[in-house]
A and B are shown apart, each in its own frame.
Chain A
């Protein structure tokens, strides 16, 4: 499932989805496999993107996301059901990805995108798009890790500054600053690419 959360600025009201996820978490903690499966299904795409923001390599990122879900399952007793599940899980994902990045010694090569290998849309458009996405990934990889995570969590995943501060364990002002600097770098890249195009 791919979606962006509506951003909010840390108010006390909880959405029906958050209440639902708290119930799913309680059921998963009690051993309900389908409830855990539903939580994984809801957060899989987001967890994989966040892990990839840290690790770049898609296979490493998937391994880290899987580690994070399994860690979350064993730590469900630590989850505060009065708070949203997403930020709690993303903190585990970010930590799992960072741990894996530290352990990694050999960097694997990136597989060819299926869009370039197979048929589908016009090859020139697909290739052009792949160039941009590749450059974006490279630019992301050059940012400091916390900055990378901050901009992905804010602009891609729709978390508020306060929530990102909680996820990354840094002051909210630092999150704002990190998002600003990351955006400045990435926007320049996007603008250059448009001019080139």
Chain B
């Protein structure tokens, strides 16, 4: 059985994120906090109703072979 093709992509992204996290503190935000009204609107949430997105994810996982990376848990836009 062959190794999944997205695996190397995942490792690369994790390593890149680690490097970014170490160097993050000196970056000047290009969208200022007072410019984030639109992003803070509830309609811009990736997961507006967790009780519903969790159920929807369960339905798809039960009917389809693929799983994971649905983005329903965790995250956030840092715009509150």
| A associates with B | no
